């Protein structure tokens, strides 16, 4: 009986640790991609026309916004690992991230190449050191089954460890370069917004601004609250981790019920208080 209880507690601790690590990794990745974003405008399968971004800025409803293109890429020179290609507008991105600031080690020469030369990308210094890459070197990126030639215009060197971990799997490109690489000329994946006053429910200006933004969007586009989207994805990641561990721990059983695993998990957590007490 004691062995059974110990085994059960061990499973709960394993699930808790895995969920904590998954949540931490998710938060770091989200921070690298969304930054200070409060809302996002996302399109359907075909994305958004980039003219929508122009209309929003001209309407006066959006003071801080930035267009974004994103896709997953890989390269033989980068170990064939998946990386997130992030296409940004350097002139609109500053309120959201400090990717291109001097704090991240981006010099004027590197920034000039990044903005003016076709196929220019920025990669983290840790990634360059790991695979022996230096500014000026070329590599082939595989994007949606097609190979595209790019070159390293400069290196990102974040000021702290957390920023380094967040950018380890990110490759930066100018928005126009990203559109060419992904074959989405004239398209955007999303538009990031900072609308802090929207969090005040009692402020009538918030509802007016939201309604005005929604009226400018096509039927296929949606205006999403980033924090709500993060919470939903974080819960999905946590549930998937718990489900996988539960399946691994019950491979020898003929019947497996995910609901029972979750019930058992929460019962033990209620009895033991928290992971630290266990």
Tell me the whole-structure pTM to 2 decimals. Answer: 0.68
Q: Poorest-confidence range of 63-72, 196-205, 207-216? A: 196-205
Nearest by Cα to 191 from 51, 56, 68, 90 = 68
Label the pairing between strands 138-143 and 83-88: unpaired
Which residues pair with residue 68 across a beta bridge? Answer: 88, 190
pLDDT tens-digit profile of 94-153?
888 777 766 666 788 888 999 999 999 999 988 999 999 999 999 999 998 899 999 999
How far is it, in rounded angstroms, from Cα 193 to Cα 180?
24
Nearest by Cα to 53 from 216, 178, 180, 163 = 216
- Predicted confidence band of residue 46 (pLDDT cuts 50, 70, 90): confident
Greatest mean pLDDT range, 9-18, 70-79, 219-228? 70-79
Inter-residue contact 118 to 177 (CB < 8 Å): yes
Q: Tell me the average pLDDT across 40-53.
A: 90
What is the token pair recorded at 160?
Answer: 């702290």
Calculate ∠ Cα 255-256-257, nearest 5°: 125
Domain locations along the chain = 2-26+231-272, 37-226
Q: Tell me the average pLDDT across 161-170.
A: 75
Strand runs labelled E in 63-208? 65-74, 83-88, 120-124, 138-143, 146-156, 170-174, 187-188, 190-193
Predicted local confidence at residue 277, as pLDDT: 47
Whether the pLDDT of residue 77 is over 60: the answer is yes
What is the token pair recorded at 143?
Answer: 């994007």
Sign of the torsion angle spanned by Cα atoms 103, 108, 110, 111: positive
Predicted local confidence at residue 63, as pLDDT: 83
Please classify residue 19 by burial: count the beta carbons closer than 10 Å to its beta carbon, then call 0-12 exposed, 13-18 middle and 19+ buried.
Answer: buried
3-class DSSP state for residue 44?
Answer: strand
Predicted local confidence at residue 117, as pLDDT: 92
Whether the pLDDT of residue 9 is over 50: the answer is yes
Q: Tell me the average pLDDT across 47-53.
A: 92
pLDDT tens-digit profile of 220-244?
899 988 875 555 444 454 555 555 5
Whether the pLDDT of residue 171 is over 90: the answer is yes
- Predicted confidence band of residue 1 (pLDDT cuts 50, 70, 90): low
- Predicted confidence band of residue 249 (pLDDT cuts 50, 70, 90): low
Nearest by Cα to 195 from 96, 53, 89, 72 = 96
Inter-residue contact 133 to 139 (CB < 8 Å): yes
Structure-token match 């840790």, residue found: 126
């Amino acid at each position: 009986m004691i062995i059974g209880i110990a085994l059960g507690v061990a499973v709960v601790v394993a699930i808790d640790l895995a969920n904590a690590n998954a949540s931490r990794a998710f938060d770091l990745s989200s921070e690298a991609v969304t930054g200070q974003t409060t809302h996002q405008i996302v399109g359907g399968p075909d994305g958004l026309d980039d003219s929508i971004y122009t209309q929003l800025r001209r309407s006066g409803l959006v003071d801080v916004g930035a267009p974004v293109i994103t896709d997953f890429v890989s390269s033989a020179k980068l170990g064939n690992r998946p990386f997130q290609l992030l296409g940004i507008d350097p002139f609109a991105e500053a309120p959201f991230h400090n990717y291109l600031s001097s704090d991240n080690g981006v010099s004027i020469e590197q920034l000039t190449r990044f903005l003016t030369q076709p196929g220019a990308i920025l990669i983290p210094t840790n990634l360059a050191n790991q695979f022996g890459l230096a500014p000026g070197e070329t590599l082939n990126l595989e994007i949606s089954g097609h190979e595209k030639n790019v070159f390293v215009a400069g290196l990102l060197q974040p000021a702290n460890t957390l920023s380094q971990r967040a950018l380890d799997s990110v490759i930066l490109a100018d928005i126009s370069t990203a559109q060419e690489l992904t074959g989405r000329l004239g398209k955007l994946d999303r538009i990031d917004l900072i609308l802090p006053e929207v969090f005040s429910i009692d402020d009538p200006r918030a509802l007016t601004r939201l309604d005005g933004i929604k009226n400018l969007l096509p039927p296929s586009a949606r205006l999403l609250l980033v924090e709500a989207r993060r919470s939903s994805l974080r819960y999905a990641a946590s549930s998937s981790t718990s489900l996988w561990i539960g399946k691994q721990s019950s491979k020898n059983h003929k019947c497996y019920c995910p609901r029972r695993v979750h019930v058992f998990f929460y019962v033990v957590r209620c009895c033991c208080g928290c992971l630290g007490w266990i």
